[in-house]
Structure 1
């Protein structure tokens, strides 16, 4: 237990530090959008590509991981839609709750995997990113188009084009291509990307902390509480059941379950604002999820270690 907490505490300490730096105006506010852009388009893709390109993908139970991960997303989507009459929120707010039910914060996920599960766990998590990122983006856009306060009805081609432009997804795809073709990490470029990728986790986690909105968290109501319980407790419980049913090995199971237990991504706020979702509720969901995850993720990690 001490080893798990020792591994996770630096991750959450970086989030707290990012929040403190933003509140103290240690850096100008203009720094944080640039840091997020650098992380999203440069350092995290470098980390995902370099890790995927050199991984031993042939040893992974790819079908089992795919079924467990996408099955968890599908079940959570069905559950939140089934709960809509009980939640009694506006359609726009409900579109934000759908995002909160399925969108994971990949930055935290990769940091947790690197700290707890080593290279193999990081590889499985990169695979989860490749599977989940396009899936939740499509579901989230459809939810916002259907329930959001807007007139935008995205076509299938434009939706797929937007998903295809996601740099995290593309990094995983190209890394897999280099891996499966036997190229692996090319000389010079490969080591360069590995060094560049080392900056991803600290910068990304600082940006997560800087984006927290405690004012929005204080406005959270019952719906946000239900969202938090669903994403941080129910989702990993579903993942555990699927992994056990599929007979996945321990590292793969831990990776999938921890990825399913991640708080909602900050990118959900951008989509809610652009497509008529309830941006205020989205900010509450993101902040409350992240704060509660500081408690729930170590507990889940400890329980997974004990299994």
Structure 2
């Protein structure tokens, strides 16, 4: 346990440095926005392309692991929706709360942390989680909110969803990497070296950006935000783990990676979606802040318990 905590501490230390830099004004919001853009479009995309280019689609999409993750997410999604409806919240708020409870910071925190701690063997499963979050549940959120507000599904909705995915560099970089992998050719030396150099900036850049961006979060509506944080950090890994280990019989190592990925704090891009749709903005912001702070203690426990 102490060993795992020591392994994760440097990641959270860099997040803390980013938070301190943002809180003191040394790193203003404009700087955070530009650093996030660099990581999102260049460093992290290079890392994801490099991982994908060395894998096949089968290495990422393992049917049992995918089914277990989807089942666990859907189970908690329905529970969170039910809690929101009991509180008499409208459908748009209920679905945003459900999205908050199941979408972890896989891109900026999970990919660099879990692959470094658990090894390259974990990369395929982590990319599976990232793909499901970005493609399945982000699309589902768009569909439900559109339906709730317009009362019908627009014929233009598939194009909107498709363009949204094509504009996401994480989706594009993984797709291009898999296409390159399908050719059977290794990456040219200079290309591989460039991707490695850029990818090396992803981990510190992403962690620092997470910390700096947290200074813009507001700790209001603590009761609901606390519930969503608890759902994300505790109920989500329990639901995914139960499905992986007892329902779908996922390989123990892959199941452990799924559980660790599910134990990640709420993703920052959920806040972007909340702002875009103007739904639960304060609630989501507070859940990101609370879950990230608590994950300093909860995530090492999960990694220690569910990985060998």
Q: Please report the TM-score for the alignment, with normalisation by the length of structure 1.
A: 0.90
Work out the CA distance in 1 between the residues paired with 2:153 and 2:126: 33
In structure 2, relative to structure 1, the CA distance for the partners of 1:79 and 1:181 (3 Å cut) is farther
In structure 2, relative to structure 1, the CA distance for the partners of 1:289 and 1:255 (3 Å cut) is same
CA contact (8 A) 1:80 1:101 kept: yes
Work out the CA distance in 2 between the residues paired with 1:266 and 1:35: 14
- Cα deviations across residues 56-100 of structure 1 (Å, max 9, x unaligned)? 765677112211222222222222222222234455543431221
Alignment partner, residue 120 of structure 1: 121
CA contact (8 A) 1:15 1:210 kept: yes
CA contact (8 A) 2:72 2:241 kept: no
Structure 2 counterpart of 1:296, from 290, 295, 298: 298
Tell me which moved more, 86-95 or 201-210.
86-95
Alignment partner, residue 238 of structure 2: 237
Alignment partner, residue 111 of structure 1: 112
Tell me which moved more, 163-172 or 43-52.
163-172
- Cα deviations across residues 7-39 of structure 1 (Å, max 9, x unaligned)? 101111111111001112223432110001111
Tell me which moved more, 13-22 or 78-87.
78-87
Alignment partner, residue 188 of structure 2: 186
- Cα deviations across residues 183-212 of structure 1 (Å, max 9, x unaligned)? 243331122101111101111111111111
SS in structure 1 opposite 2:184? coil
Work out the CA distance in 2 between the residues paired with 1:4 and 1:158: 42
Work out the CA distance in 2 between the residues paired with 1:70 and 1:10: 31
Q: CA deviation at 1:115?
A: 3.1
Count of matched residue pairs? 305
Structure 2: gaps spanning 5 or more residues: none
Structure 1: gaps spanning 5 or more residues: none
Work out the CA distance in 2 between the residues paired with 1:105 and 1:66: 18
CA contact (8 A) 1:214 1:287 kept: no
| RMSD between aligned residues | 2.5
CA contact (8 A) 2:104 2:262 kept: yes
CA contact (8 A) 1:93 1:281 kept: no
Tell me which moved more, 162-171 or 201-210.
162-171
Alignment partner, residue 5 of structure 1: 5
Structure 2 counterpart of 1:258, from 239, 257, 260: 260
CA contact (8 A) 2:77 2:99 kept: no
Alignment partner, residue 228 of structure 1: 229
